[in-house]
Amino acid sequence: MNSKTWLIALLLSLSFSALAIDLGEAKTQGWVGEQTNGLLGVVSHQAEVQQLVNEINQKRLEKYRQIAQENDLDAEQVAILAGKKAIERSESGAYIQSPSGEWLIKP
């Protein structure tokens, strides 16, 4: 991993921990899951969690744009890296999105 990728991964991990207030329970309950595009997706209980997902995704997109600008990268590249890292960090039993777009339970 080169130094730029390492820095981006570190910044992303710090930004996710600040957003995890209600996210942990939503993940534990199987209401939301991590998508490959770096954003959250609604798995179930849409009415109850859509606002949470929208708020967190808005903050994530802002952070991705900031990191991209600071590192002369495309925001989509940062989002994809963030999605990969979020899926890797997701706990066993959490919902994650497969590359084909279907929801899977992480083993």
Q: What does the pLDDT profile of the chain (107 residues) look like in tens digits?
A: 565 665 566 555 544 544 444 788 888 889 999 999 999 999 987 777 888 899 899 999 999 999 999 999 999 999 999 999 999 999 999 999 999 999 999 99
Count of domains observed in the chain: 1
Containing structural domain, residue 23: 3-105
Closest by CA to 38, choosing from 6, 64, 15, is 64
Overall pTM > 0.75: no
User: How many angstroms separate the CA atoms of 55 and 4, rounded?
Assistant: 28
So what's the pLDDT on residue 52?
87
Contact 104/96 with Cβ under 8 angstroms? yes
Alpha helices in the chain (DSSP H): 3-18, 23-28, 46-70, 75-89
What lies within 8 Å, CB to CB, of 65 at 6+ separation is 75
